[in-house]
Structure 1
């Protein structure tokens, strides 16, 4: 079993146990706020189950129907988890508002606080573990599940504080108010997760990855790499896909062009922390490139070198050569 599968299986088993514990706390106390936490635990279990299946798919090798692999299913997994979190948030808000207007009898709140506090600590450690493994293996699914559990841990901590305040003050309507606040917090986190997953499903360019690649190319640029443009990067599971155009001297033969592109491929794969597949289109230089081309002893130069154009996010991501003076 792979590290990712083992991590998400731990999350699934823990989520089931904690869900049962939270519902026990709810039946003891009849607290809307505790029901809020228990209802979100159902989402944790469903999300972890789907995440386990997504990680299984993401580890399958490329095939004829999936030439880019199956890693993109992780974005769908994160989307489903975000939607489930949002649904839980809406249900919690409806139940809490109803309780605020019509009242709700609670009891044995300290016992409930002890159970919720213990589940929050467990979620904190499991969430941290999932995020650590997810970052190490570039798994969006594990990171999303880990952040979800951290969110659950934070809401549990707020819930415990609220329960103690209710018990000390005997202001029972605070139970519904705390539940509404936690419901809004859950709803906001569901939106953030859904937004990130939709960006991945729509092939939204990963700006952080592009910036990392641009910095690497600028730091190690060679004389023959006249410019780089139309650079884009997408992540599919643990795999990173980059495509770009590189302008090379037009008199290079095919073998020389191949070597230059291979050098760029090796450079990026050695510099970034994940497996990277590059699609590089070679463009021939034009006379208008001469003023920023640093090729020495160029027999076809039409204009003297005047200054290097530094590669940055503004010019490298545009679909045009760098003719600016």
Structure 2
């Protein structure tokens, strides 16, 4: 499904790019050149997005024990770099034509092409972002955001061309290019920042909170404590590891069964693959005052206070002993 969507994006981007360059050569408008250059990036980005989604779908191997999903973050970062390069060229080109009075023509055709392409890119971009979020695909989300950026550019192009067409204020043509070059630069930096953060395994606050809420909503009394929670994203897949404290009087078979149930619970977090590594910790005497197991045969202290599991304390590599913490 994801690959078919990217192919659709590529085909439409090629058709739109050809139409935009055609009206640019007819008109000589710097604003239309801005729009056409943005379409080149769409074509290149869609091509690489297709390859990255294909590579991310490959199974794990000895050289890639966590799979190939992180290529999608690289694709997103490359798209950000391409956007920055295009914005730099647009800024340079617009500055050279700011005080010129070129003979512009066929602006009405340029407005029509820009309006139609903006509508197509806006609808397709919105759809790709929604599908990318539902399938947890960074490459699809980046491609969709870029198409939405191109749609915003198309709206700006139509407005700038209309002003130039009706007033003969030729400086508006270059000024609009400056404005959108700045907007493109911000978008490119944002994409690069997100992709670098993901490649460096920076914690995604929204994703970590989603995992935390899921664990809390499915918590069992036998799960005495949870800590050292780590969540890493590999494209659309997740890798989760944590330390789970269980009753120390359980035998190995019971502990194994409980961990298996815990992993099955986390595996239902999302539709894509979730890989889970759980380190089992035995309970300590200090755990008794927040342990909710009613029929514990070795309890040393009565239950006194429930410890809230939240995104702050679950990330710590420490057991939770009410007001004090001890190393696991």
Same fold, judged at TM 0.5 (above): yes
**CA contact 1:225–1:248 (8 Å) conserved in 2:** yes
CA distance in 2, matches of 1:92, 1:323: 59
2:136 to 135, 138, 146: 138
TM-score of the superposed pair, with normalisation by structure 1: 0.96
Task: Give the equivalent residue in structure 2 for 1:323.
Answer: 321
1:241 is aligned to 239
Structure 2 counterpart of 1:108:
106
How far apart, in 2, do the equivalents of 1:272 and 1:304 lie? 38
- CA positional deviation for 1:219: 1.7
- Residue 20 of structure 2 is matched in structure 1 by 22
Contact 2:228 2:314 (8 Å CA) reproduced = yes
The match for 2:223 is: 225
Deviation at 1:324, TM superposition (A): 3.1
Deviation at 1:107, TM superposition (A): 2.3
Contact 1:74–1:237 (CA<8 Å) still a contact in 2? yes
Counterpart contact for 1:250–1:284, Cα < 8 Å: yes
Deviation digits for residues 39-71 of structure 1, max 9, x if unmatched? 111111111111111111111111111111111
Q: Tell me which residue corresponds to 2:200.
A: 202
| Aligned partner of residue 63 in structure 1, secondary structure | coil
1:4 matched to 2:10:
no
- Superposed CA deviations along residues 268-313 of structure 1, whole A, max 9, x for unmatched, are 2224343211111111112221111111122222221111111101
Give me the whole-angstrom Cα distance separating, in 1, the residues matched to 2:258 and 2:62. 30
1:161 CA displacement:
1.2
Q: For structure 1, which segment, 155-164 or 134-143, has the greater mean C-alpha deviation from structure 2 after superposition?
A: 134-143
Structure 1 unpaired stretches of 5+: none
Q: Distance in 2 between matches of 1:59 and 1:270?
A: 20
Which residue of the partner structure matches residue 94 of structure 1? 92
**Which residue of structure 2 lines up, in the alignment, with residue 265 of structure 1?**
263
2:305–2:322: 8 Å Cα contact kept in structure 1?
no
Q: Distance in 2 between matches of 1:255 and 1:82?
A: 50
Mapping 1:265-304, distance limit 5 Å:
265-304=263-302
Aligned pair count reads 323
3-state SS of paired residue (2:193)? helix
Task: Summarize the alignment of residues 160-175 of structure 1 with structure 2, pairs less than 5 Å apart.
Answer: 160-175=158-173
Higher mean C-alpha deviation, range 205-214 or range 172-181: 205-214
Q: 2:147 aligns with which of 146, 149, 157?
A: 149
Secondary structure of the corresponding residue to residue 316 of structure 1? coil
- Contact 1:248/1:284 (<8 A) preserved: yes
1:228 Cα offset (Å): 0.9
TM-score (structure 2 length as normaliser): 0.95
Q: Is the 2:23–2:106 contact (alpha carbons within 8 Å) kept by the matching residues of 1?
A: no
Query: Is the contact between residue 71 and residue 239 of structure 1 (CA under 8 Å) also seen in structure 2?
Result: yes
- Quick check: 1:37–1:152 contact (8 Å CA) kept in 2? yes
1:38 to 36, 52, 63: 36
Q: Is the 8 A contact 1:15 1:45 kept in 2?
A: yes
Offset of 1:128 from its aligned partner?
Answer: 2.3
Secondary structure (helix, strand or coil) at the match of 1:246 reads: strand
Which residue number corresponds to residue 326 of structure 2?
none
How far does the alpha carbon of each residue in 1:143-192 deviate from its partner, in whole angstroms, 9 at most, with x for none? 11011001100111111012111212221101111110011111111111
* Bigger mean CA offset, 107-116 vs 304-313: 107-116
Cα deviation, residue 9, structure 1: 0.8
Q: Tell me the alpha carbon deviations over residues 75-122 of structure 1, each in whole angstroms, 9 at most, x when there is no partner.
A: 111111111011111111111122114454422212211111111111
Match of 1:188 among 186, 189, 197: 186
